[in-house]
């Protein structure tokens, strides 16, 4: 594996969709090819990977998940990663979701990806983002109880539908101190809690995204409470095909720069 390196700057504060394409079109970049399954197997070798189950908050249904544990024994920052729209083929095996988890754990973070209610082996049924907020809360409850987790450094990362649900919950949860939205669509722009959210926020979008146009995202983010950052990935759309690693690297760069000396830096982050 060839890794480009750079020096991560140190600041002392750690704080930072629903796609409307048809299911058949949306599922194209989500298809788990043999090479991608092999990629997941390699990820398991580079870190400890455990299949786990936890309940959604509020006596919600049990949810299936994958917990990525870094090899470092010390308390580690932690992140919950939320997948795209379930009705459009999104699940925790999405390429962007897996790439983000792999990059996080390579830099010493715990990462938890999970299936929302009604997806895969998770119980329950799709709830249009309402019950899914309880799923995110349950994921946080589970993650911060892990012996290796440093609960003082917790990020919520979501992609598309997962960005809308994840950020909406994170803006209401004081345990979270880093909020990251990937391809946040315009239908999720109206949230008074997120509008006034003072914690660091990163928004990542593809240059050609039809459902989260970069100009619209910039206008929306400009009215939010700072600090906030918008990063545009060139030459890609809502699905980041063959750009998954760019998304993951930018997220880790943001978190390392925000965490500064408090984040474990097992290797330098590649520039996007």
The answer to whether 238 touches 90, Cβ cutoff 8 Å, is no
What is each CA distance from 158 to 1, 45, 73, 97, 258, in whole angstroms?
26, 25, 27, 8, 18
Instruction: Sort 151 into a burial class: Cβ within 10 Å, 0-12 / 13-18 / 19+.
Output: middle
Q: What is the pLDDT of residue 206?
A: 99
pTM above 0.85, yes or no: no
Helix (H, G, I), strand (E, B) or coil at 235: coil
Q: Which domains are delineated in the chain? A: 23-262 (3.40.50.1820)
Q: Within a 13 Å sphere around the CA of 98, how many CA atoms are in the beta-carbon half?
A: 20
Distance CA 181, CA 192 (A): 16
Distance CA 134, CA 89 (A): 21
E-only strand ranges, the chain: 48-55, 62-69, 76-82, 110-114, 149-159, 178-182, 201-206, 228-233
Each residue's pLDDT, cut to its tens digit, for the chain (272 residues) gives 333 323 333 333 343 333 333 232 233 333 444 544 554 554 444 569 999 999 999 999 999 999 999 988 779 999 999 999 999 999 999 999 999 999 999 999 999 999 999 999 999 999 999 999 999 999 999 999 999 999 999 999 999 999 999 999 999 999 999 999 999 999 999 899 999 999 999 999 999 999 999 999 999 999 999 999 999 999 999 999 999 999 999 999 999 998 753 433 333 322 33
């Amino acid at each position: 594996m060839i890794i480009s390196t750079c020096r991560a700057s140190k600041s002392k504060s750690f704080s930072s969709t629903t796609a409307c394409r048809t299911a058949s079109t949306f599922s194209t970049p989500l298809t788990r090819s043999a090479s991608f399954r092999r990629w997941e197997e390699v990820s398991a070798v580079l870190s400890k990977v455990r299949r786990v189950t936890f309940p959604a908050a509020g006596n919600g249904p049990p949810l299936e998940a994958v917990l990525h544990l870094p090899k470092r024994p010390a308390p580690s920052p932690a992140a919950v990663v939320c997948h795209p729209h379930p009705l459009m083929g999104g699940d925790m095996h999405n390429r962007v979701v897996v790439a983000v988890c792999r990059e996080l754990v390579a830099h010493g973070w715990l990462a938890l990806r999970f299936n929302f209610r009604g997806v895969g082996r998770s119980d329950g049924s799709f709830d249009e983002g309402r019950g899914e907020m309880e799923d995110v809360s349950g994921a946080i409850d589970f993650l911060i109880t892990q012996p290796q987790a440093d609960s003082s450094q917790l990020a919520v990362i979501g992609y598309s539908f997962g960005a809308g649900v994840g950020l909406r919950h994170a803006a209401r949860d004081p345990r979270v101190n880093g909020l990251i939205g990937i391809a946040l669509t315009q239908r999720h722009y109206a949230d008074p809690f997120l509008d006034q959210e003072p914690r660091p926020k990163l928004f990542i979008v593809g240059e050609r995204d039809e459902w989260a146009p970069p100009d619209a995202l910039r206008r929306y983010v400009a009215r939010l409470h700072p600090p906030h950052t918008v990063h545009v990935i060139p030459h890609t759309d809502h699905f980041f095909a063959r750009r998954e690693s760019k998304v993951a690297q930018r997220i880790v760069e943001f978190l390392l720069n925000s965490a500064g000396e408090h984040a474990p830096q097992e290797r330098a982050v590649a520039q996007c």
